[in-house]
Copies of this chain bind each other. A is one copy, B any other.
């Protein structure tokens, strides 16, 4: 056998891709710059991905999956919607602090009309949001008639938007506190109450 695949290179390609897509958009993230930043040869990524589109799409799916899996695990342990949302938003804020590139990456691509989350993932999300609603109604935290879409907007979209508004420093500030984090939960829950 020849030498083993250097997983570090693949990792660096992924990191560089995330950084450059956030910085320059999908179209502005050139393969040449990705390769340069990752410190690998230009053509290297084609051994693992058949195209730039596939690279970015798979990366998006995997990052979205992280959030979806977090929500899934929360639904197994939490007993109230408030708790689920508190934990989930906590996780999103944590991502914003620890790996800001990743949440920006999701943010940028989820608003691109070329990148849709996979059908499977969308179905999965739908099921999880239905559970959130179920728990909320059982606990009297949410009003009776809420659609999946409405809950999704408040549980997932609004917090992501809030965090990115902050990260862009749209109104000056770029940091956040635990109290602010709790207020995001409060607003989301209030909306659906």
Chain A residues within 8 Å of B, Cβ to Cβ: 22-28, 104, 107-108, 111-114, 116, 122, 126, 147-150, 152-154, 157-158, 161-162, 164-166, 168, 170-171, 173, 183, 187-188, 190-193
Interchain CA distance A26-B168 in the complex, whole Å = 19
Judging by beta carbons under 8 Å apart, are A149 and B122 in contact?
Answer: no
Judging by beta carbons under 8 Å apart, are B148 and A171 in contact?
Answer: yes
- Chosen A-B contacts, 28 in total, with CB atoms closer than 8 Å, are A24-B27, A24-B114, A25-B25, A25-B27, A26-B27, A27-B27, A27-B28, A108-B111, A108-B113, A111-B164, A122-B171, A126-B171, A147-B171, A148-B171, A149-B162, A149-B165, A149-B166, A149-B171, A152-B165, A152-B171, A153-B187, A158-B161, A161-B161, A187-B192, A188-B191, A190-B191, A190-B193, A191-B191
Shortest distance between the CB of A102 and any CB in chain B (Å): 14
Q: Which residue of B lies closest to A192 (CB)?
A: B187
